[in-house]
Every structure is written in C-alpha cells, then in structure tokens.
Amino acid sequence: MSYSSDDDDKPLVFRRNSKPEKAKSSSHPPKPSPKPSPKPSNDSDSEDDKPLSSKISTVSKVNTNNAKNGSHKSVSTPPKPQVKDEDSDDEKPLSSKFISKPNVGSANKAHHEDDKPLSSKVSTASKVNTNNAKNGSHKSVSTAKKPLVKDEDSDDEKPLSSKLISKPNAGSANKAHQNGSVSRENQSKNIAVNKRPLGEERSSGQSSVKKPKLSDSSTPVNRLKPKTNSDDDDDLPIAQRIKNQAPSSSGKPSSSKQKVVKKNSSSLNKTNKKSKKVVKNSKYSKPSRVPPGSGEGQKWTSLVHNGVIFPPAYKPHGVKMLYRGKPVDLTPEQEEVATMFAVMLDTEYMTKPKFKENFWEDWRKILGKNHVIQNLDDCDFKPIYEWHQSEKEKKKQMSTEEKKALKEEKMKLEEKYMWAVVDGVKEKVGNFRVEPPGLFRGRGEHPKMGKLKKRIRPSDITINIGKDAPIPECPIPGESWKEVRHDNTVTWLAYWLDPINMKEFKYVFLAASSSLKGQSDKEKYEKARMLKGYIQGIRTAYTKDFVSKDVTKRQIAVATYLIDKLALRAGNEKDDDEADTVGCCTLKVENVEPSPPNILKFDFLGKDSIRYQNEVEVELPVFKAIQQFRTGKQGGDDLFDKLDTSKLNAHLKELMPGLTAKVFRTYNASITLDDMLSRETKGRDVAENVVVYQHANKEVAIICNHQRSVSKSHSAQMTRLNEKIDELKDVIKELETDLARAKKGKPPLKTSDGKPKRNLNPEALEKKITQTKAKIEKMERDKETKEDLKTVALGTSKINYLDPRITVAWCKRHEVPIEKIFNKSLLAKFAWSMDVDPSFRF
C-alpha cells in the first residue's frame, strides 16, 4: 500500500495529466504530495476536450437591475486615506516584502508595470485546458514518494490502494481529441457541455477499474490516517519543486519575512494540525463547552464595540402618485412604502406578478382597507419615480467639493461604528449599518419577493459585547436595545431577526480582514488540505459502493461522487417559502437525465437560482445507479430519496475528521489552481504570468459554476473593440502601401483628408507595422478573453475557494507582485497568508 500515487489527489476530473512533465522525478523528490506527477502517465489522455466553458449558460437570474444609467461621473477624488486603518499599515509592508523575495536579487522591482486590467490581458486561452481531464490514468506507479520530506503528504498511508482504481475510463468517448476542442464558444450558449469532464476518469486505458487494490481496506477508509500536513510544511519541500522555480536560489526564501499577519493567526492553528484525531473544532462547532485548555469554544476574551448605526428616518417628499389619474394624499408611512415600489419601476420585478401581489398585500395593510386606493393596477407611481430620478441626477451633478463634504460628514457619523476592539486589537467591523427598510428582492422565483421589509429599531437588536466593556449607547434617543449579551463563544457583535423570515437572523460580524475571520479562513483551507491525504481512500470507498446492495450506501456513494467530481453543493432541504433551488442531496429526478451509454445531463437551479447545466460522462456503475434511483419516480421526486445532507455529512465524517460536503468544493478549487499554476506557467513577464493566473482562476470559476450575467453594454463594447481592430488593420494597409512606395523611393500617399505625411524610411515603417500588428494581436486576445469571461465570475472563487497561500507562493516564485492578483481588500483579508514559503503547495 502505500504507495499511492500521489497523483491522485487531484481532482479526478480535472486533472489531466497529460503532460507529464518532464520527469522530475528523480531528482528531488517531488513534493510528495501533489501532483506533479512525474510519473509517466500513461495514457493520458486527453480527453478532455470539452470546453468547459460551454456550460455556462446563463440563465435565469433575476436581474433586476435597474437601469439606472448611470453614468456617474466621477468627479471626485476621494481622499482616500480615511479608512485605512491599521491594517493597512501592515499591509503594505507585506507586499513589499513579498516581492522581493524570490529572487534574489535582481532588481526586479520593476515589476510594476503594468497595470492593465487584468482582464484584458488575458486572452488567451482558454481552452486548453479545460479539459482536463480526465484522464486519468495516471497513476501508476507509485513510486514512493515520500522521501523524506516531511511531511506531508505522504500519502502513503493512504489506504487506498486503490488508487487506481477507478478512474478510468470510461471514456472514451472523447478521448480522442485531445485538446482540441476548439470551438467552445459557441456552445456557450447552448448547452453546455460539460464543465468538467468528468467522466472520464477512467480512461480506457487503464485497465480498468479496479486495479487491484491491494489492500483494500475495505473499510471505508481509514480515517485515521493522518497525514501530516500541516501547514507548515511550507517550508520544506523545497527541493522539489525547485526546478521550476527559478532562482530558487536561496533557499531561504522566505525566511526573512516577518509575518505580517495579524496577530493571531498563527497561534491557533497550530493546534490543530497535528493531531488530527483530536480534531479541532473548527468553526462551526461551537464547542462551546470545553474551554479548558485551549479555550476551545471561546472566541474572544475581551470585546468592545459601539453597536450599530441605523438608517436615517424617512423624509417625506410630498410628491403625489396618481390613482385612476388623480393625485392621492398619503401619510408619510404610506408614501415611504409607495416610494420603495416606485423606485423599482424600471426593474424586472415589475414583470413578476408575485412581486406585485406581495407588495400590494403589505402596502394595503398600511393604507387601510378603506383607503381610496383599492388596487395596484390603477396606481401610477410615475411621479414618484420621476422625482427619484431627478434626485439622483441632482446628486450626480453636485460638485466634487459638495460630494466630498457629504462623504466626510457620513464618515464622521459612522466612524465610531466601524471598529471593534477584540482582545486588545482594533479590528474592522463588517456590516455595522442596520439594513434599511425596503421591498424584499429575492432571487429567482422567490415566493416572498416584493414583501415589505420593515424598519429595524433598536428594540429589535441584540448586542453581544465583553462583560466589562461599556454597553453601546443606543443611537436613537428614547429607545433601547432588545438585549445585551456577553457570549464569548460566538463572533457576532449584534443581530436582529430577519423581518421577512422571522425565524432567521441577520448578524453583524467583524470584517473579513479581522483575525478572527482570517483564522477561520485558514482553518477552512487546512481542512481542505487534509482532505488531500484522504481523497484517494474516499474515492476508492465510494467507487466500491456504487454497486453496494444497500440503497442508502449506494446513494451516498453516488452523491459523494457528484460532489467530488462536479463540485456540487450539499443541498439542504428548503422550506416552501423559499425559492425552489436544489443541491446534490435535493436533486430531483428531472434534474438528471441519463443518456446512454454513460452520459448524465444535469440541469437545475442551484444557489441563487443560478442554472447549472452540464453534460458529463460518468463511470458506468454511477450511470446505472442513477438510472435505478430514477425508476418508479416522478420528475419532481427526489433522486436521492434515502439521503439528506446530515446523513451524507455524518458519513463523510467517518471518513475524515471534520469532513463535510463543502470541503470538496474548497479542495477541488484549490487543488486545481495549485495544479494549473505549477504546471508550466511560463509567462515571460509579469503581464503574461497574470494571464496564466487568470486562466487558472477561470478554470476554477467554471468548475464552481460561478456565473454572472452579461453586462448590458457587452455587445456594444465588443463592437467597439472590433471597430478599433478594423481601424488598426486599415492603418497597417496604409503603412504597407507607404512601405512599398518608400522602398521605391516614392513619398507616402496623402492621408484621407489630403494632408501629406511624414516621409519615413522603410525601417521606420516596418517597425510601425510590427508594432501595430502586436497591438492588434493584443486587442484580439483581449477581445477573446472578454467574450470568454462575459458569463464567468472570477471573484467569488478568489475570495472563497482558493487558498491564498497558493497564490502568494506562486507570486513569489514568479516574481509577480502580489498586488497584481489581490486587490486591497483581498490583501487585507489574506494577510495571514503573506508569509508563506514560496515552495508552498496546497
């Protein structure tokens, strides 16, 4: 056993190994873990092909938008400093430190250059990868990896033996192509193909499935296997990757760095890691009890803050709406609600009967049964809408000075609420502003859209604060908080009940840059890294259960497979008064269409009513199991009738301490980034490296189905780009004509408006032509990228799924200034990851 390959850790699907890189193998032990896989893969395959992107299809989202238009002008320049805060201070340094490290010397500094919007740059690609694939086969040999290095990974232990197993095959189908897919685009619109290819896994080649497992472990896994890991590893591995890294030089890379991090981070972590058995309690659990020693459950010792700030009271505008053509008098309260509706006149919500119905129901209560207004259809909110538009316009027209003054005033008012002091450290508060009243805008076909979200008052709010901290003064005179608590086992500073759904809460938490959040973020990634050590065994185990006689087991196995391979969410049960969306455990029969011989077509609305459409090839046993789960059921019945998220998670927990469904998403996202970035990534300069990164980021976004709606001006923007390109092409033609003439000693032609041009020599003209061509190429690439990313949102995965240490380490290795990848708030949020060793691998 033991041997396992490492390779396996990677997401099955994604991985592709095709390229086996050169072998690095020998030399240094590759980092044990991950994937570099030297191994010769065998097959490879490529299958892939599928353009991921394709999948995307957008769909439904709500959109509301209002059109506003906006052009805002910008005028002002913000003074900026304001906020900053402390953190900032730190930050800076970071980056700086950061940069340098790598390489030695050299001046790199230059980096900065660029600036271009990333996005633009990108271009390339795409496709390629994507695919991924599948393939699978890999593996094989195992070599023992683990050399010494520490830690990590060792997979050895892995129970798995399995490794091989499965993967394989299937495929076929595509196979052939390697990458080529090409086309993609098109599809996009239509269907999608698959994002991740999944199925593939097995490639044919391999022998098929099962490989002998050696051990079998049947048991599902051994959970215990600890791998070590820990973060710390960072350090070490050095060797390994070396190769690429450039300069590696020094080994010391990092050392010097100090940590920027905020205080805490470090500390805690340690704890966990190692012992896995013990397990930590991570975030969720509020272990509350148990404080002994480490203070487990306890989240803070001292907490001081100023409570929350309320939106200003409503100021009646007196603009009268019309009812059956006649102006109506409304009380301020009635007018306030009418205005909420009027302001949304130009949104999609107006086309939704449910929205209007809910609004009318709530507004009518305020109007009273006998009010003149007896029905919504006879109401004309235009006057109010127009008044609002003009107010907006007025605001826009204000001078820079005025805006600045207004802003400062607001700042002054809010400043005290922006900060909290946690265990002696000043930290930013996330959402210290209480949500203003308004109409509920649910996403998708939410049954409660349009309902009035009433104003929250101090008496609705519960404050949580340190025992000896002063109780925040209630900002509204004459009123008082609902309750004041001193619970140090939770991290919220305040909460109130959600007026739309009185059994839910709205919390006020610290900002993402706080160490409390950073810590838990780090723990999240450590847990995902831990999964790396168990993944093989888990895959082996569920593969075996695809054919279990026990239906529940079979369902758990298939569900886990889908979560692993497709990065689906868990899928908790929902109430009827929520939008009808699903996740893995709540998939309906109609959401998964089997298409022989082994393709599954997924089509459902997931979180936020974002459509998930994908066609994937799966292993035959999975395909058969799905068919069987569907038999005898109606389209709207649960596909996994014997399952729910708590059963699934309980099972996962047996496989690895703390394992839950969402960990797979984090794991697959981060391992994919790590894998792609470590693969050659050859950018020659910063700009190209950034493109490489974006490409990897995009891949992850596709896997996670992070979509965005196409911007209203997208097509106009594309048109403009095309025009510019055409213009440049004309320029080239002209230059070429001039060049030909210049070579013959003739002067250039006049410009179109008849003016003479400078007489350049052939060399100069050629240079110009070359430059222009380069410019065109860049624009073409930008265009492609833009089209490519029009429906893909990269930000979400960057914020929530990609271990920042992967990014930071890669930046250090490639001399890319971290700020080219992380903006200011991301730098603050990920302060805990800045001092990672350049050789860090997820």
The reply on whether position 654 binds DNA by CB under 7 A is no
| C-beta closer to DNA: residue 435 or 590 | 435
Q: Which residues pair with 505 in a beta bridge?
A: 497
Q: Point out which span in 206-214, 221-229, 282-290, 626-634 binds DNA (CB under 7 A).
A: 282-290
Using the 8-state DSSP alphabet, how is residue 828 labeled?
A: H
What separation, in Å, do the N-terminal and C-terminal C-alpha atoms of the chain show? 23
Min dist CB 215 to DNA, Å, is 28
The reply on whether position 444 binds DNA by CB under 7 A is yes
| C-beta closer to DNA: residue 79 or 212 | 79
The reply on whether position 103 binds DNA by CB under 7 A is no
The reply on whether position 658 binds DNA by CB under 7 A is yes
Using the 8-state DSSP alphabet, how is residue 788 labeled?
A: H
Distance CA 165, CA 621 (A): 13
Cα angle at 368 between 362 and 374, to 5 degrees?
A: 80
Out of 115, 401, 637, 763, which residue is the one contacting DNA (CB under 7 A)?
115
> Residue 295: left (phi > 0), alpha (psi -120 to 50), or beta?
left
Out of 95, 96, 108, 119, which residue is the one contacting DNA (CB under 7 A)?
119
The reply on whether position 668 binds DNA by CB under 7 A is no
Number of other residues whose CB lies within 10 A of the CB of residue 23: 13
Distance CA 831, CA 842 (A): 17
| C-beta closer to DNA: residue 414 or 479 | 414
| C-beta closer to DNA: residue 9 or 91 | 91
The reply on whether position 693 binds DNA by CB under 7 A is no
| C-beta closer to DNA: residue 27 or 646 | 646
Distance CA 809, CA 841 (A): 8
CB 152 within 8 A of CB 31: yes
The reply on whether position 212 binds DNA by CB under 7 A is no
Structure tokens at 191: 């269907």
Out of 183, 219, 256, 285, which residue is the one contacting DNA (CB under 7 A)?
285
Out of 104, 660, 762, 766, which residue is the one contacting DNA (CB under 7 A)?
660
Q: Point out which span in 146-154, 179-187, 227-235, 604-612 binds DNA (CB under 7 A).
A: 604-612
For 120-172, the DSSP string reads: HH--S-GGGGGGTTTT------------S--STT-GGG-TT-GGGSS---BT-
User: Which amino acid, 129?
Assistant: N
The reply on whether position 823 binds DNA by CB under 7 A is yes
Name the CA dihedral angle for 461, 467, 468, 474, rounded to a multiple of 10 degrees. 10
Contact pattern for DNA over residues 377 through 396, marking x by CB under 7 A: --------------------
| C-beta closer to DNA: residue 165 or 818 | 818
Out of 28, 352, 371, 407, which residue is the one contacting DNA (CB under 7 A)?
407
Min dist CB 500 to DNA, Å, is 6
| C-beta closer to DNA: residue 44 or 705 | 705
The reply on whether position 352 binds DNA by CB under 7 A is no
The reply on whether position 552 binds DNA by CB under 7 A is no
Out of 583, 594, 621, 838, which residue is the one contacting DNA (CB under 7 A)?
583
Using the 8-state DSSP alphabet, how is residue 710 labeled?
A: P
Structure tokens at 343: 């302001």
Min dist CB 583 to DNA, Å, is 3
| C-beta closer to DNA: residue 469 or 490 | 490
User: Which amino acid, 222?
Assistant: N
Out of 14, 417, 492, 534, which residue is the one contacting DNA (CB under 7 A)?
492
Distance CA 324, CA 321 (A): 10
Question: Looking up tokens 């920042």, which residue turns up?
Answer: 804
Q: Which residues pair with 603 in a beta bridge?
A: 613
| C-beta closer to DNA: residue 537 or 606 | 606
The reply on whether position 433 binds DNA by CB under 7 A is yes
Q: Point out which span in 193-201, 469-477, 706-714, 765-773 binds DNA (CB under 7 A).
A: 706-714
Distance CA 577, CA 554 (A): 31
Q: Which helix or strand (DSSP H or E) is residue 463 part of? A: strand 462-464
| C-beta closer to DNA: residue 144 or 799 | 799
The reply on whether position 709 binds DNA by CB under 7 A is yes
Min dist CB 781 to DNA, Å, is 13
User: Which amino acid, 500?
Assistant: I
Name the CA dihedral angle for 230, 232, 235, 238, rounded to a multiple of 10 degrees. 10
The reply on whether position 705 binds DNA by CB under 7 A is yes
Residue 393 burial (10 A CB sphere; 0-12, 13-18, 19+): exposed
Contact pattern for DNA over residues 225 through 264, marking x by CB under 7 A: ----------------------------------------
The reply on whether position 281 binds DNA by CB under 7 A is yes
Look up 801 and say whether it is catalytic: yes
Q: Where are the alpha helices (DSSP H) in 264-399?
A: 265-274, 292-295, 332-342, 353-367, 382-397
Catalytic residue among 385, 534, 561, 801: 801
Distance CA 227, CA 274 (A): 9
Out of 446, 527, 544, 695, which residue is the one contacting DNA (CB under 7 A)?
446
The reply on whether position 704 binds DNA by CB under 7 A is yes
| C-beta closer to DNA: residue 374 or 717 | 717
Residue 147 burial (10 A CB sphere; 0-12, 13-18, 19+): middle
User: Which amino acid, 376?
Assistant: L
Structure tokens at 725: 């390109």
Which residues inside 290-329 make contact with DNA, applying CB under 7 A?
A: 299
For 623-639, the DSSP string reads: HHHHHHHHTT--TTSBS
DSSP helix/strand/coil, 592: strand
CB 341 within 8 A of CB 349: no
Out of 4, 17, 41, 120, which residue is the one contacting DNA (CB under 7 A)?
120
The reply on whether position 638 binds DNA by CB under 7 A is no
Distance CA 227, CA 480 (A): 53
CA atoms within 13 A on the CB side of 495: 15
CB 531 within 8 A of CB 664: yes
Q: Point out which span in 26-34, 215-223, 368-376, 642-650 binds DNA (CB under 7 A).
A: 642-650
Min dist CB 39 to DNA, Å, is 32
Out of 177, 283, 388, 416, which residue is the one contacting DNA (CB under 7 A)?
283
36 Cβ partners below 8 Å, 6+ apart?
A: 21, 24, 30, 240, 241, 678
CB 817 within 8 A of CB 111: yes
Out of 215, 271, 717, 772, which residue is the one contacting DNA (CB under 7 A)?
717
Which residues inside 498-537 make contact with DNA, applying CB under 7 A?
A: 498, 500, 503-505, 507, 509, 517, 520-521, 524
Out of 262, 553, 662, 812, which residue is the one contacting DNA (CB under 7 A)?
662
Min dist CB 341 to DNA, Å, is 15
Out of 706, 805, 813, 841, which residue is the one contacting DNA (CB under 7 A)?
706
Distance CA 641, CA 337 (A): 44
Which residues inside 16-75 make contact with DNA, applying CB under 7 A?
A: 61-66, 68, 70-74
Which residues inside 779-818 make contact with DNA, applying CB under 7 A?
A: 786, 793, 795-797, 800-801
Residues with a known catalytic role: 801
